[in-house]
């Protein structure tokens, strides 16, 4: 086995025979477009429309990550902030 270099087989990105056959059989058929057609059909039951939309959501919108927020302030920080607000209000008057 060669180290670091590919010496045989398919080139990177080349489809295998089974995948090539599948794409040939499918032609221009798109499962995604078919699902969208079904979801948009007024005769499709609402629960089926909802299921299709929920299944497609992860492919359209990224999953949100939890964000932890923490605020570290001391009484001194709060007192300084309140003094700045009081000074700003006094200057307005």
Show me where the domains of the chain are located.
Answer: 30-63
* 60 close to 39: Cβ distance less than 8 angstroms: no
Distance, in Å, from the CA atom of 51 to the CA atom of 39, rounded to the nearest integer, reads 9
Axis crossing angle, helix 31-40 with helix 46-60, rounded to the nearest 10: 140
Q: pLDDT digits over 19-41, tens only?
A: 889 888 888 888 889 999 999 99
Residues 35-56: what's their mean pLDDT? 94
Q: What is the pLDDT of residue 41?
A: 95
Confidence of residue 93 (pLDDT cuts 50, 70, 90): low
Please indicate, yes or no, whether the overall pTM of this predicted structure exceeds 0.75: no
Please report the beta strands in the chain, taking only residues with DSSP state E, as ranges in sequence order.
Answer: none
Q: Does 75 score more than 90 pLDDT?
A: no
């Amino acid at each position: 086995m060669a180290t670091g270099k590919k010496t045989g087989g398919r080139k990177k990105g080349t489809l295998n025979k089974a995948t090539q056959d599948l794409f040939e059989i499918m032609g221009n058929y798109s499962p995604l477009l078919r699902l969208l057609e079904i979801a948009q059909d007024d005769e499709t039951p609402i629960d089926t429309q909802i299921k299709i939309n929920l299944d497609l959501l992860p492919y359209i919108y990224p999953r949100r990550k939890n964000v932890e927020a923490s605020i570290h302030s001391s009484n001194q920080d709060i007192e300084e902030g309140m003094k700045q607000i009081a000074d700003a209000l006094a200057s307005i008057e």
